[in-house]
Each structure stands twice: as structure tokens, then as C-alpha cells.
Amino acid sequence: MNAVILAVLVMIILSLLRIHVVVALVIGAMVGGLTAGFTIDETLTFFGAGLGSNAGVALSYAMLGAFAVAISFTGLPNLIVKSAISLVGKEGESQTRTLSKVFLLLAVLLVSISSQNVIPIHIAFIPILIPPLIKVFNALMIDRRGVATIITFGLKAPYILLPFGFGLMFHEIIERNMSESGMAIELGMIPRALALPVLGMVIGLSIALFISYRKKRHYEELPIGGDDKKEGEFSYTVPSVILGLVSILAVLILQYFTRSMIFSALVGLIILYVYFIYLRFKGEFNMSKSETIMTNGMKMMAFIGFVMIAAGGFAEVIRETGHVDSLVLTTADWLGDHKGLAAIMMLLIGLLITMGIGSSFSTIPIIAVIFVPLAEAVGFSALATIALIGTAGALGDAGSPASDSTLGPTAGLNVDGQHHHIWDTCVPTFLHLNVPLMIFGWIAAMVL
């Protein structure tokens, strides 16, 4: 059996059985390596070689987690929470609560979309924005599965469709790899080809919000980010709120210009430490708390860091097997000139590869070299080929246990331990974003 298919299936099945995703990734990699004929030592060597590829990302998330918890000591999150709850009211008229929910979810959607294009900071906004809003979500009884779908949609749809920020990078990867594989295209063709697949994602998001997760869901009021202090202990003042806002702006601006989450989070922490030192001289803060701040923040983001590191090892084993190419070539031999079947199989291959690797950007170079000649042989137009490659690359980014498009939302929504990565993020985003993306990607390939 093909090592890629078996490794990905093992990883997904174990994750669905609530085996920790890091363990599932390690076992899946071992199964894939052994199936490909590697020894245990060889598989472990390849796995170890891939661990470092995402180590920088893991450290970035740890630093951002520390910064997010440090922000709580300024009282800014409590100000946000109290302002939002005062808008809603303790009981609230039904219309007011509905409008408040719509406004809040729309704000999360707009910020998520902006993180890919307007201010391309990707998931760096999540540990800053989402944890302070958890109590507001609870007060409004918002189903966090819907919020996870909103965030993942905002992280995916803009880069698929719009040629700005991360979208420009994604489109350039498609254009370059298709041209190198023998099909010259223009960048301006890509948004036209991918408009229908993104429309499918819009429909899926609408179903999630207005049908699947529209009902109220109760969550317990539990401590945020591993901290057991009561809300009232983090009082806010005008200077503390201003400093909190300045530190957040500094992180976002530096992230935009330096492309370094580590450096930008470090600067944000330094700004906050200046505030802590000021409080220390006033006798209102014990500097030993700074260690607690860093530890609690890193705990909050440790999960995503370890999964990203393990995913790097998993992806390296998958690449070393050489079975990605054989999977695509074997599929090409089966298809012949059946366009409808060819489109389905190409999309399924993209789904499998991206679910395993966890990155749309890394999937495009792998599939383009085979998909371009295959599409030409079957008779697909250039626009249809773009639709197939772009959709196949994007498939699996939502729903993959190893993708930052799912890990990011989980890290933000699970700060109180009430949001499961697989069943509350991966499964909802797979059903509401990946399935419509595949259906409309197939339609685009057939009509373009």
C-alpha cells in the first residue's frame, strides 16, 4: 500500500479516537516509513531531521503566548470583557444579544481576513485577541466551533483568492510551479480560477454559522491560560491600558516589517516589563511574577508548538518515502481521459498530501509537477488546471490536525480547556470548509 495514504490515514484515525495528535503524528510517521521499506532507525533519522524545520515557529508561538498572558497584567483584557458585557447586559434583550453576537463574530472574521492581506501577521493575532474574548463568548453562549470555523475561513479564503500579502505568495508559488512544469500562466488568471472554490467556502461558513452552530452552547467559567487569579485582581488604569495598547501595536507593526514573531513578541514583552518595573518601585508588583507570566503564557501555546515540531518530522518522512510521486503517477495511469473522475482524484490527492504536511504552500510544488502534464493530457484548460492545483493545494489546510490554520484557533479558544482540537476545530472546519471547497473546486474544473 502507498506509504503516504497509510501514514495519513493512521494519523487521522488516531486523532479522531482522541489519541493526542503529537502521538498520532509520530505513529503515523513510523507506519509510513516502515511501509516504504525504511528501518526503524532510518525512519527515526528522517523524523528527527524534520523536527527542526518548525522549531522557529514553535518558539514564536511560545513567545506570543507569554506576551498574551503578560497583557492580562495590564488589565486591558478585563476592560475589553467588561465593556463587551456592559454592551450585552447581564440578561439582555434578545435583539441586543443577537446584535452583539453578530458584531463580535463579524469583528473576529474581519481581523482574521486582515491577518492574511491587510496586515499579514497570519495567526499572530490569535493569542492577543481571542483569550480576552473567551468570557464574552461564554456570556453570549456562542458555540466556539463556529468561532473556530470563522477564524480558519479568515486564515484560508483570503490567501486563496486575493493576490495580496500571503495571497501574493500563494499565487506566485502556483504561477512559478505551473510555468516550470510546462504551462505558462499569468498571475491575473489565478483569482478568476479560484473564485468558485472560495464561493464554496463562503457557503460552508454560512451553513456553520446559521445552521450547524447557531444554537447556544454553555461553557463553564474557568480560569484562563492556566492562571487561577480572579478577574478583579487585574485592575486597569488609564496608563496601564495605554501601555497595553502600545505593546500590542508594537508587536503587530514589527511583525509586519520584520516578519519575525519572535522579535516582535520580545519587544512587546520588553515594553510590558518596563511597566512591571514601574509597579515594582511603587510596591504594587512582585517581579517574581514575571517568571509566572512567561511560564503560563508558554503553557498556553505549548500544544501548538509541539504539534508543529512533530508535524515537521512527519512531513519529512512523507517526502523521503518517494511515494508522493508514485501516488500521483499511479492515479494518472488509472484515469485515462475521464475529466470528471480525473478532477475528483486530483483533488483527493491534494487533500491527502496537505492533511499530512499541514501546509498548502508546501503542497503546491509537490503536486504541480505531475498535475500540469496530467491536466493537459486529460484536456483541462489553463484556468481549470489552476483551479485544480490551487484547490488541491488548499484542501486539507482546514481540518488537518497539523495545520496552523487549525492549531491557531485551538490555541486561542482552548485557553480554559473547554475546546477540543480535533472535535471542536478540525472536524467542524473540515466539514464546513474543505467539503464545499472540494465540491466547488470540482465544478470550477469542469466549467472553466
- List, as one string, the DSSP characters of 120-163: --GGGGHHHHHHHHHHHHHHHT--HHHHHHHHHHHHHHHHHH--
Predicted local confidence at residue 235, as pLDDT: 62
Q: In the structure, what pLDDT confidence band is assigned to residue 288 with cuts at 50, 70 and 90?
A: low
Q: Which three cell numbers stand for residue 175?
A: 504561477
d(CA 252, CA 216): 33
* pLDDT band, very low/low/confident/very high, at 76 (cuts 50, 70, 90): confident
User: HSE of 211 in the Cβ direction (CA atoms, 13 Å)?
Assistant: 9
What pLDDT, in 10s, does the model give residues 306-358?
776 887 788 788 878 888 677 767 776 776 668 888 899 889 888 877 776 66
Q: How confident is the model at residue 125 (pLDDT cuts 50, 70, 90)?
A: confident
User: What is the pLDDT averaged over residues 357-378?
Assistant: 74
**pTM summary value:** 0.72
- What is the distance between the alpha carbons of residues 152 and 425, in angstroms, rounded to a whole number? 9
Phi, psi of 341 (to 5 degrees): -65, -40
For residues 28-52, give the mean pLDDT: 89
The identity of residue 196, as a single letter, is L
175-203: b or e for each residue (b if 16 or more CB lie within 10 Å)?
A: bebbeebebebeeebbbebbebbbbbbee
Model pLDDT, residue 191: 93
195: left (phi over 0), alpha (psi -120 to 50) or beta: alpha
Instruction: Give me the DSSP letters along 413-425.
Output: HTTTS---IIIII
Of the candidates 411, 408, 320, the residue with the CA atom closest to the CA atom of residue 358: 408
> Which one, of 26, 46, 58, 95, lies nearest residue 304 by Cα?
58
Confidence of residue 228 (pLDDT cuts 50, 70, 90): very low
If you ran DSSP here, which 8-state letter would residue 389 be given?
A: H
- Averaged pLDDT for residues 351-376: 74
- Across 191-219, average pLDDT: 94
Q: How confident is the model at residue 229 (pLDDT cuts 50, 70, 90)?
A: very low
Indicate if the pLDDT at residue 8 is higher than 90.
no
Query: What pLDDT is recorded for position 91?
Result: 44
Average pLDDT of the chain to the nearest whole number = 80
* CA dist 190 → 153, 160, 164, 180, 436 (Å): 19, 9, 12, 16, 19
What confidence score (pLDDT) does residue 236 get?
66
- Alpha-carbon distance 9 to 266, whole Å? 39
Q: Looking at residue 388, what is its pLDDT?
A: 93
In the prediction, which pLDDT does 407 show?
Answer: 85
User: Under a CB-based contact definition with an 8 Å cutoff, are residues 59 and 256 in contact?
Assistant: no
- 396 neighbors 351 (Cβ within 8 angstroms): yes
Q: Where are the domains of the chain?
A: 3-222+302-447
CA 182 to chain centre: 32
pLDDT at 287: 65
CB 36 within 8 A of CB 324: no
- 201 or 407, higher pLDDT: 201
Determine the average pLDDT of the residues in 375-401: 86
* Least confident segment among 20-24, 108-112, 174-178: 20-24
Q: What pLDDT is recorded for position 97?
A: 65
- By C-alpha distance, which of 87, 159, 88 is closest to 121? 159
Average confidence (pLDDT) over 219-232? 60
Residue 209 has pLDDT above 90, yes or no: yes
Does position 28 have pLDDT exceeding 80, yes or no? yes
Q: What angle do CA 303, 168, 249 make, to 5 degrees?
A: 55
Q: Enter the C-alpha cell of residue 387.
A: 483551479
